[in-house]
Amino acid sequence: MVRFSAHLRKRDHAEKIAYNGHMPSVEPLRACRSALIQRFGELSPHIAVDAKGYVREPSENLIEGVELAQFEADLRQGDGNELENKFRAIHSSSALAVNAFAPFKDDPGALRLNSVGGYAKPEFERKCPHELVGRRPPNLDVLAEGPNGIVAVESKCLEPLSPHIAKFAPAYLTGIKAGNTWFKEMRRLVDESRAYCWLDAAQLVKHAFGLARTFPSRPVTLLYVFWEPANPEAYSSFAEHRAEVARFTDSVKGGGPKFVAMSYPELWDTWDEQLGPVWLRRHVSRLRARYGVAV
């Protein structure tokens, strides 16, 4: 088995930024990445993983029941060249979203989000232009359209274990209509760029602007879905992240789009509890086997 610890020690020299008087630890990031890589090796010992935790081909990063043909066209039209780069990482949030949602391409009737069903086939890497000059449009990891509106999913794996500083180009301050709670939150983040440590609040605000511009006359929900290990109590950063999510949720309440957050394990529990097809229960079992690791 490949040993990753030395490489991870070299990689994890995160920017030294103080939040509320303390320096965020990189130990949770190291531990979670190592646990995910180890689990992958246990499930797929025949697949080579390099020192960075990357497989050679995107198809090697998929769980059983997920096929490249279900999502490849979607990812190739998005920005960032995901398939050739970040998608190959064992800890990729894009691969996590695909592994979770791709089977619904073949059976969209089984998809339920926020206790609602009736969605058309989900799309991956959906561009939602905010039409700000010189700024790239947001790419939403997953987007599903239904009779009750739009649900756009922002997927996170290990990203909430690294510190974030909110940044906005001047175009956001001059090109976005004032008054909405999302705009007010942006103005607050401009003044308090370190208001959140683990939550990438600026990215969520930018996604909200793109969704509001792309779907001006339909109800929209921005669903933030994040990974946690089987024992999140092992590190305080997971509880801190949840506290930041709750604070952010309160800050943008009443604005459009609506903001909802849950962990991937919580989402999978809702799929398990519904009276869905047999394949869905098997799918949830495979997701938990791949990503339900303890640290």
Q: What confidence tens digit (pLDDT) does each residue in 172-196 have?
A: 888 887 778 999 999 999 999 999 9
Give residue 20's pLDDT.
63
Is residue 2 over pLDDT 70? no
Confidence band, pLDDT 50/70/90 cuts, at residue 271? very high
Per-residue pLDDT, 78: 65
What's the chain's average pLDDT? 90
Paired tokens of 21: 């008087």
Nearest Cα to Cα of residue 295 among 225, 242, 227: 227
Checking if the pLDDT of 51 tops 60, the result is yes
pTM: 0.91
Residue 79 has pLDDT above 70, yes or no: no
pLDDT at 267 > cutoff 60 = yes
Q: How confident is the model at residue 96 (pLDDT cuts 50, 70, 90)?
A: very high
With 50 as the cut, is the pLDDT of residue 292 above it? yes
- Residue type for 44, please? S
pLDDT value at position 14? Answer: 41
Range in 9-13, 73-77, 109-113 with the lowest mean pLDDT: 9-13
pLDDT confidence of residue 4: 38
Nearest to 93 by CA among 220, 228, 202, 198: 228
pLDDT at 71: 95
* Whether the predicted pLDDT of 88 surpasses 50: yes
Structure tokens at 16: 């030294």
Least confident stretch, 92-101, 111-120, 128-137: 128-137
- The mean pLDDT value for 34-52 works out to 97
Interacting residues of 166 by C-beta distance below 8 A, sequence separation 6+: 189, 190, 192, 193, 194, 195, 196, 201, 202
- The Cα–Cα gap between 111 and 125 comes to 18
